[in-house]
Amino acid sequence: MPCYEIDGVRPVVHPTAYVHPDAVLIGDVFVGPGCYVAPLASLRGDFGRIVLEEGSNVQDCCVLHSFPGIDTVVEVNGHVGHAAVLHACRIGRNALIGMNAVVMDRAEVGEGSIVAAAAFVKAEMKIPPGVLVAGVPAKVLRELTEQERKWKVIGTDCYQNLARRSLASLKPCAPLSEGDRERKRFEMPDVMPLSDARRQAG
C-alpha cells in the first residue's frame, strides 16, 4: 500500500487488518485489528491523528483528515460508506456513515446511529445513540428500528469478512480475454440493500 512517513511519524497497521494497495496512509494513522480499508481511501494523518478501532471499515474514496490535537476516530465496528468525508470528528461504536456523507469538525455520532447517504453533519453536532440522521444540514429524524439495527450489523460483519477474504485471496491478475457469464456468482444471502430487507420483512 502507499504508506508514507512524515516528520518521523509513520502509520501503524495491525496484521489482521486489510488495507488495499491503492489506499493511502500518511503519518499519524492507526488501523486496528480486523479493519478493512478499501481502494482509493485517503487517511491523511499529517495534521492530526486518525484512529480506526477494531472491526471498523472505511470504504472506497473516503477521506479522513483532522486538525492538530483533534483525533478523527472510528470506534469499534464503525462503518464508513463509499466516498464519505470525516474531518476531526468521532464516529461512535457500531455507527454507520452513509455514502457521500460529510461529518465535520468536533462532531460526534452516537453509538449505533446511522447517518444517511449524502447527509451533512455540521461542526460540533452531537448525535445521540441509536438514531437516524439525514439532510443538509443533518437533523435527527427518529430512533432506528430493530430491522435497521440488524441490517447495519450484518453489513459490518460482511466487511470484516471481506478483510479476511482479501488477506487470504485478493491478488493482482491479468483480465481474461473472454468470460463465461454463467460462471458462479458470489453468494451472500444476508447482504442486501436496506430497501430489499424491508420488503422481505413485509
Whether 36 maps to a domain, the answer reads yes
What pLDDT, on the 0 to 100 scale, is given for residue 1?
67
- pTM for the complete prediction? 0.95
Please calculate the CA angle 60-193-169 and round it to the nearest 5 degrees. Answer: 50
Q: What is the DSSP string of 132-185?
A: EEETTTTEEEEEPPHHHHHHHHHHHHHHHHHHHHHHHH----PPPSS--TTSPP
Average the pLDDT over each of 128-137, 142-151, 156-165, 176-185 and give the range with the smallest value: 176-185
What pLDDT, on the 0 to 100 scale, is given for residue 133?
98
CA–CA distance from 86 to each of 34, 81, 109, 140, 200 (Å)? 20, 11, 11, 18, 33
pLDDT band at 128 (very low <50, low <70, confident <90, very high): very high
Whether 16 maps to a domain, the answer reads yes
Whether 107 maps to a domain, the answer reads yes
Query: How many Cβ atoms from other residues are within 10 Å of residue 27's Cβ?
Result: 21
What pLDDT, on the 0 to 100 scale, is given for residue 181?
86
Q: Are 127 and 140 in contact (CB under 8 A)?
A: yes
Give the number of domains in the chain: 1
Whether 24 maps to a domain, the answer reads yes
Per-residue pLDDT at 101 exceeds 70: yes
Q: pLDDT, tens digit, for every residue of 34-85? A: 999 999 999 999 999 999 999 999 999 999 999 999 999 999 999 999 999 9
CA–CA distance from 175 to each of 49, 166, 168, 179 (Å)? 38, 18, 20, 9
pLDDT band at 120 (very low <50, low <70, confident <90, very high): very high
The domain that holds 40 is classified in CATH as: 2.160.10.10
What pLDDT, on the 0 to 100 scale, is given for residue 144?
98
What pLDDT, on the 0 to 100 scale, is given for residue 76?
98
Question: Which of helix, strand or coil describes residue 198?
Answer: helix
Q: pLDDT, tens digit, for every residue of 2-33? A: 899 999 999 999 999 999 999 999 999 999 99
Whether 157 maps to a domain, the answer reads no
Whether 139 maps to a domain, the answer reads yes
Q: Are 105 and 120 in contact (CB under 8 A)?
A: no
Whether 181 maps to a domain, the answer reads no
Per-residue pLDDT at 124 exceeds 70: yes
Q: pLDDT, tens digit, for every residue of 141-175? A: 999 999 999 999 999 999 999 999 999 999 999 99
d(CA 129, CA 61): 26
Whether 111 maps to a domain, the answer reads yes
What pLDDT, on the 0 to 100 scale, is given for residue 127?
98
Per-residue pLDDT at 99 exceeds 90: yes
Q: What range defines the domain where residue 102 resides?
A: 3-143
